[in-house]
Amino acid sequence: MISISQTESTERTLMDNFFMHNPLGCISISNEGVITDINMAASEILGYRRSEIIGQPLKHFLRDSDLRMILDSLPGFLPAEKHFRWDLNLYDRFCDAVSVSCSMVTGEEYKILIFDHNSGYIERINELERDQILAHLGTWDFSCDRNRMYWSNETFRIFGIDPAVTNPGYEDFIECIHPEDRELVEETLNRSFNTDLIMTPCELRYRIIHGITKKERWVYQKFIPNTGSSRGFHELKGIIQDITEERAQEEHIRLDIYKAIASTAEHRDNETGEHMKRIGEFCHFISKKLQKPGAFADDIRIFAPLHDIGKVGISDEILRAPRALTEAEIEIMKTHTSIGYDILNNRSKLEMAAEIAKNHHEKFDGTGYPSGITGTAIPLAARICAVADVYDSLRSKRCYKEAYSEEQTLAIIEESSGKHFDPQLVRLLIDNRKSFDSIFKSLTDAA
């Protein structure tokens, strides 16, 4: 015959087994809100071992509002005949919110939270995954105190990193960014962490180096600071989108517009398109040799051909005069620099173009126009453009002159070193005469 205490003990074991082997996650909590036990399913869902989690306050795993709802529930509050379920988020080992659907059993001295992955959760994750692939848009979040980033699969794809290999931290993320854009990104992230967590989204466009192709890609990132749960950690939540193709298209349109403007000047001036192209290439070559940072070399290639745009404001009578100009006409002709500046100034992204238009006739010794500035007071882009323009003009045939040979051209330019031209640039031209010659020949006018 089984004694009462034996029956109690058997039931106790049965209950323990029921708790421990339940396929649903179960967390038992004291009335003070401390976790007293979790079962194997809960341990699996949250990624913690039982020994790690027992004794911890439940508030470490919940948002404030959810925590209050659980702790405020009184014994017997949930009538047995009704089926209560509600959805909430539990924070797993990696501070990621796991969406669960839960119910609760409350006794006098304990509560048991019973939960499972939210119904439809996996389905929604799959849908989200598919949408992210379609938009080439990933999501990420970054918790400050744990220095761990969570990346969605699409974010891994955008960066070209295998999710199985790297579990990215902040340093890994910074590594993926183009060295020239790192400062900008770090500054913006730090500012977000140090603000008073105002919920203002930040936007950034920057370059990354794709992990597999090692090629430069452009991304758009938008993120918002978030206080997260009562754990008090600060986190940033954001999206990232690969915009390389869109940017290339925009750039293409932008370049076409610049070319159209440049050709306006060519038509008025009887300058040839090849002259403009060569100037762009010479300037690009010089800037690369000078190891100018960022987009300088690419910008000057586009903007140098606009140097004479101000000639659209000079009358045909002067511009196309088949004779030597009078003193007064020469003065008018010189205003093409300030007219060009007025056309290009105060337009976004055209600062360099405006500087070149204004200063390409300044001379290193201060005898140029319109301002008579000297040396390095003349913007570098304009100094480069001046050498390139004269080199090309001398070597080209014009209605009023024959083409000079390469030797004659270099001799004239060398003679003007420190007078008309920046000596550093003249040296560079002479040292690289072969490269200049091949650019000149490869883009020579058909005529």
Closer residue to Fe ion (CB): 242 or 308: 308
Q: Is the dihedral of CA 183, 184, 186, 192 positive or negative?
A: positive
Q: Please list the residues that pair with 241 across neighbouring strands.
A: 137, 220
Task: Give the range of 87-95, 147-155, 249-257, 308-316 binding Fe ion by CB under 5 A.
Answer: 308-316
- Please enumerate in sequence order all residues whose Cβ is within 8 A of that of 210, keeping only pairs 6 or more positions apart, or say none: 159, 160, 216, 217
Task: Give the range of 19-27, 62-70, 387-395, 434-442 binding Fe ion by CB under 5 A.
Answer: 387-395
Q: Report the nearest approach of Fe ion to the CB of residue 407 (Å).
A: 22
| Residue at token pair 């020994």 | 51
Task: Give the range of 64-72, 166-174, 234-242, 382-390 binding Fe ion by CB under 5 A.
Answer: 382-390
Q: Please list the residues that pair with 110 across neighbouring strands.
A: 30
Q: Report the nearest approach of Fe ion to the CB of residue 332 (Å).
A: 13
The Cα 112–Cα 70 span in angstroms is: 10
Q: Report the nearest approach of Fe ion to the CB of residue 340 (Å).
A: 8
Q: Report the nearest approach of Fe ion to the CB of residue 325 (Å).
A: 14
Q: Report the nearest approach of Fe ion to the CB of residue 410 (Å).
A: 18
Task: Give the range of 59-67, 140-148, 301-309, 434-442 binding Fe ion by CB under 5 A.
Answer: 301-309
Edge-to-edge strands, sheet with 97-106: 35-38, 25-30, 110-117, 97-106, 86-91
**Per CB under 5 A, 308 contacts Fe ion:** yes
Closer residue to Fe ion (CB): 229 or 409: 409
Give the contact letters, 14-53, x = binds to Fe ion (CB under 5 A), - = no.
----------------------------------------
Size, binding site for Fe ion by CB under 5 A: 2
Closer residue to Fe ion (CB): 104 or 309: 309
Q: Report the nearest approach of Fe ion to the CB of residue 308 (Å).
A: 4
**Per CB under 5 A, 281 contacts Fe ion:** no
Q: Report the nearest approach of Fe ion to the CB of residue 428 (Å).
A: 20
Cα dist from 390 to 2, 253, 409, whole Å: 111, 30, 9
**Per CB under 5 A, 422 contacts Fe ion:** no
Cα dist from 383 to 283, 376, 440, whole Å: 10, 9, 19
Edge-to-edge strands, sheet with 137-143: 148-151, 137-143, 235-242, 216-226, 202-209
Closer residue to Fe ion (CB): 270 or 405: 270
The Cα 39–Cα 54 span in angstroms is: 11
Backbone angles phi, psi at 273, to 5 degrees: -60, -35
Q: Report the nearest approach of Fe ion to the CB of residue 337 (Å).
A: 7
Task: Give the range of 128-136, 155-163, 210-218, 303-311 binding Fe ion by CB under 5 A.
Answer: 303-311
**Per CB under 5 A, 389 contacts Fe ion:** yes
Closer residue to Fe ion (CB): 25 or 280: 280
Q: Is the dihedral of CA 380, 383, 386, 387 positive or negative?
A: negative
197 and 177 in contact (C-beta within 8 Å)? Answer: no
Q: Would you call the peptide bond into 370 cis, given omega within 30 degrees of 0 as the criterion?
A: yes
Task: Give the range of 203-211, 296-304, 386-394, 399-407 binding Fe ion by CB under 5 A.
Answer: 386-394
The Cα 371–Cα 274 span in angstroms is: 29
Task: Give the range of 152-160, 381-389, 401-409, 428-436 binding Fe ion by CB under 5 A.
Answer: 381-389
Cα dist from 272 to 35, 69, 92, 392, whole Å: 81, 77, 67, 11
Q: Report the nearest approach of Fe ion to the CB of residue 352 (Å).
A: 16
Question: Restricting to residues 237-256, which ones interact with Fe ion according to CB under 5 A?
Answer: none
Point out which residues bind Fe ion (CB under 5 A): 308, 389
